[in-house]
Amino acid sequence: MATKKIMAWSKCQIDIGLTEDGLMAETLTNVGTIKDKSSSLEPSDGDALEAIATGGETVAKEVQEGGFTLTTRIIEPTTDLLTLLGISEDGLSVTTHIVDGDWSVQVTPKNKGAYGLKAPKCSIAYKPGWSEEEGNYADLEIEILKGEADYWYQRFVTESALK
């Protein structure tokens, strides 16, 4: 008998929170309205160590663990988001695009029973932009780090459907 697949796609919610101890933040805040089909979680290759003998023969090879990055585009970022990220004190005057500190992230799919992701320690890059087609937007690049919790992320089952 085939098991029904519950997909973690479309209308996911992304929440972030500042963590001081590298463990999952207790308070998370929604990043705002996410542009359709703009979010992805992508791995990167780690460095490859290779020993090559005379004549070009590979005698040993070891591949290091790579990275894991969540990217998303926020439509019309709010003043609350800019203040939360620490790039503006009042949400209007932007003093930097550097987001300091370690952050936790949670990705919650809309479908009940789908797998979400909780990453306790991440680094966030904020990249603002504007176009006539999209208006104001901000790309968030959230690199998942292996921190004090001694794991990259945990998967969880979404308890109720998002609206």
> What's the whole-number mean pLDDT along residues 110-127?
96
Q: Which two tokens stand for residue 9?
A: 């796609």
CA distance 11 to 38: 11
Q: pLDDT category, 163, cuts 50, 70, 90?
A: low
Q: Is the pLDDT of residue 66 over 90?
A: no
pTM: 0.89
% of the chain surpassing 70 pLDDT: 98
Q: pLDDT category, 3, cuts 50, 70, 90?
A: confident
5: DSSP letter:
P
75-80 long-range contacts, Cβ below 8 Å, gap at least 24? 75/32, 75/33, 75/34, 75/35, 75/134, 75/135, 75/136, 75/137, 76/32, 76/33, 76/135, 76/136, 76/137, 77/32, 77/128, 77/136, 77/137, 77/138, 78/32, 80/29
Residue-level pLDDT at 20: 83
Q: Which two tokens stand for residue 124?
A: 């966030």
Non-local (6+) Cβ contacts of 139 within 8 A are 71, 72, 73, 74, 126, 127, 128, 129
Average model confidence (pLDDT) across the chain: 93
Q: What are phi and psi of 150, to 5 degrees?
A: 65, 25
> What's the whole-number mean pLDDT along residues 28-32?
98
pLDDT in tens, 70-94: 999 999 999 999 999 999 999 899 9
Q: Is the pLDDT of residue 4 over 90?
A: no
Smallest CA-to-CA distance from 122 within 56, 4, 28 is with 28
Q: Which two tokens stand for residue 92?
A: 């209007």
Q: pLDDT category, 69, cuts 50, 70, 90?
A: very high
Q: Is the pLDDT of residue 1 over 70?
A: no
> What's the whole-number mean pLDDT along residues 135-161?
93
Instruction: Give the position of tokens 């003043």.
Output: 79
CA distance 148 to 145: 10
